[in-house]
Structure 1
Amino acid sequence: MEQPHERAPMGQGPGLIWGIDFAPGERREVENCNSPHDGFVRWLHLNLADHGTLLWVRTTPELSPAAREILLSQDKHQRALVEAETVACVLHDFERDFDVRDTGRIGALRVVLTPGLIVSARHHPIGSADIARKRLRDSEIVTSPARGLDLIVGAILENFARITGSLSSEVQAAEDALVEERQVPSGHRLMDIRRRLAQLHRMLEGMQSVFRRLELDEDLPEDILPTVEKLSQRVQGADGDIQSVLSQLRAVRDEINDQSNLRMNQNLYILSVMTALLLPTTLVTGIFGMNTGGLPLTGRDGTLGATLVAAGAALATYLFLRTRGFFR
């Protein structure tokens, strides 16, 4: 697992987090970025927060101007460049911390693909690098730039799928709570879920644009084109999953709003009926509360009489409202 602001030990090269040389059926750890790798495909994962990395990128002859531009640029937008046999792109993923797997912060992963060298680099640790490193350690052998691109984008999509699955589970739990008339998540939490899904959608939409531009680029190496087409479809499918969860969330929020409006309308209805029933009574008590002469029922049983008049007025109002269909 890569660590935040990690610096490479002496002898491993500038800002090298990990590096692997691949040959058919064989892999070996890279100890120095500048060591020869004839016959091998080399993958270097670099820390761009290390000043030594920046010097190495500027001076190594293995990187083309397009590759250097992508690696050294401060622009974090998702994009791609093709120059001769070099494909370079910026892709988005979520940053991570020591004890937080998903911070919600968007980070830029910079990837350079050449026939013999794959470079991935970032300023802050990101989730997909951990996934890619685990796959490379377990079983993956990368013998071509196309396979490297497939692996790193697959790692990003796996990270997105994990987050989408967690959000989808929360939406389904809220839907079940509605059906079973249990306590549903707060409106603030549902808004947080919607914002997170919208964030994922924007990231995947930008990634789709990158792959569409690569598909249309006439300079794209022919051996990478099938992989780019396949990844474009996978990104579109992942975005479709997010849109599905968003639709489900929208339905849940609509149902919660409908139930809330129904309860509010019921409460207003009850208050309106009570007001109508008590209005004649209020009028009667108001009359008998006036300090004027000649008030009726001022004798010994006046209180009882006034009470009966008020109750009769309320009963008459009730019967009138019932005949008009106000009670259902």
Structure 2
Amino acid sequence: MLGATILADEHDGLSKRNRPPLAAAGPGLIWAFDLGGGRARPIEVCDGETTGFRWLHLSLAHQGTETWINRLTSLPEDVREMLVANDSHQRALVDSGVVGCVIHDFERDFERSDLSQVGVLRFALTADMMITVRLHPIRSADAIRQALDRGNGIDAPADALDLLIGTVAESISTAVRDLSLEVQRAEDAFLDGRDSPTARGLVGLRRRLAMANRMLDGMRAVFRRLEGDEDLPETMVATVERLNQRIQALGADALGVQRQILQLREEIDISVDQRTNQNLYVLSIMTALMLPATFVTGLFGMNTGGMPWAQASHGTLLATLLAFGTAGATYLFLRWMGFMRR
């Protein structure tokens, strides 16, 4: 059995009879750990004494979560409001040494493996506790729980912040790397001329990249806000600066993938324009070659008196030869003028 209380939306392998009662688990508690002494110890209650650092991961879908947070006097009022708010805007604040943030992360979909939905993760960080809150299952929460369940201890708030943001950043980094590989495969297919991508086919890649860019833009704004806040605890300054640099590097990677997509789009557009121009060129040449022949056949089709070869036994053959002759003469004239190219 896993060493934490996990609701069905976070772990589908835990049977109902093995789950602790909801009252014992606390209001909306998904998992919780006491992290003092360099080791992680799973707990099943939100309240209670602790001698070290505590991490609580809560679900806002539970009706009791908001009530419990609003009664938590160890958090400033504006931080409590941030944890239970309905908005999804990424933001940060520091009040009385407590750091509160709203960031975006990929939602966990148990039926799909792609990263197509963005969810909201809220957290409050005090000197001895991290509270993370979400409405829908979040990918980083599973990764953090697994890391803590392996016994990774956290002795300081800066370590908890580093683990949380580092896990979210790694999830975004994986998405950006996957996008880069897809773009490279599309480029190879385009250069090889097999199953070449279309401009419309790149829309899905651009949409997913735009999603990652919006997440990174918001996180950059959050950490610029934290880095410039004079109330940020001194023990977190170095960690915030390092995480800000990592997010900046991720933004540069995403920008590189965006340039790849734009370059591939330009190459596809150039290829389409070339094919269109080639088709127009062939059509123009065919029209030029057929125009004299059409004139000859139209002339002989007027059915008026004095028509050449009207009484000749081979008049039709002669008119046909004249039509082909004018087409051939037009072809030679176009070659002489330089309009014919290979």
TM (normalized to structure 2)?
A: 0.91
Find 2:48's aligned residue among 32, 35, 38: 35
Give the superposition deviation at 1:129: 0.9
Structure 1 position 233 matched with structure 2 position 245: yes
What's the secondary structure of 1:230's corresponding residue? helix
> For residues 176 and 141 of structure 1, what CA distance do their matches in structure 2 show?
45
1:16 maps to amino acid: L
1:156 maps to amino acid: V
- Cα 1:209–1:8 change in 2 (3 A) is farther
What's the secondary structure of 1:224's corresponding residue? helix
Find 1:113's aligned residue among 125, 135, 140: 125
Give the superposition deviation at 1:138: 2.1
> For residues 140 and 69 of structure 1, what CA distance do their matches in structure 2 show?
30
- Cα 1:200–1:242 change in 2 (3 A) is same
What's the secondary structure of 1:257's corresponding residue? helix
Structure 1 position 298 matched with structure 2 position 300: no
1:167 — aligned with what?
179
How many residue pairs get matched? 327
> For residues 120 and 152 of structure 1, what CA distance do their matches in structure 2 show?
9
2:154 maps to amino acid: V
Deviates more, 1:134-143 or 1:275-284: 134-143
What's the secondary structure of 1:309's corresponding residue? helix
Q: Any idea what the Cα deviations from partners look like across 1:180-207, whole Å, max 9, x if unmatched?
A: 2222233333111012112211110111
Structure 1 position 202 matched with structure 2 position 252: no
1:213 — aligned with what?
225
2:296 maps to amino acid: V
> For residues 304 and 8 of structure 2, what CA distance do their matches in structure 1 show?
88
Find 2:136's aligned residue among 116, 121, 124: 124
1:320 — aligned with what?
333
2:144 maps to amino acid: A
TM (normalized to structure 1)?
A: 0.95
Give the superposition deviation at 1:294: 2.3
> For residues 145 and 231 of structure 1, what CA distance do their matches in structure 2 show?
14
What's the secondary structure of 1:91's corresponding residue? strand
2:321 — aligned with what?
308
What's the secondary structure of 1:36's corresponding residue? coil
2:145 — aligned with what?
133
- Cα 1:101–1:21 change in 2 (3 A) is farther
Is 1:94–1:102's contact at 8 Å kept on the other side of the alignment? Answer: no
What's the secondary structure of 2:130's corresponding residue? strand
Structure 1 position 26 matched with structure 2 position 39: yes
Is 1:5–1:49's contact at 8 Å kept on the other side of the alignment? Answer: no
2:15 — aligned with what?
none
2:82 — aligned with what?
70
1:112 maps to amino acid: A
Gaps of 5+ in 1: none
- Over aligned residues, Cα RMSD in angstroms? 1.7
1:92 — aligned with what?
104
Give the superposition deviation at 1:56: 0.6
Give the superposition deviation at 1:288: 1.2
Deviates more, 1:6-15 or 1:272-281: 6-15
1:147 maps to amino acid: D
What's the secondary structure of 2:25's corresponding residue? coil
2:16 — aligned with what?
none
> For residues 310 and 276 of structure 1, what CA distance do their matches in structure 2 show?
13
Is 1:96–1:102's contact at 8 Å kept on the other side of the alignment? Answer: no
> For residues 122 and 84 of structure 2, what CA distance do their matches in structure 1 show?
9
> For residues 132 and 305 of structure 2, what CA distance do their matches in structure 1 show?
97
> For residues 168 and 322 of structure 1, what CA distance do their matches in structure 2 show?
47
1:4 — aligned with what?
9
Gaps of 5+ in 2: 1-5, 12-18
What fraction of aligned residue pairs are identical, expressed as a percent?
Answer: 48
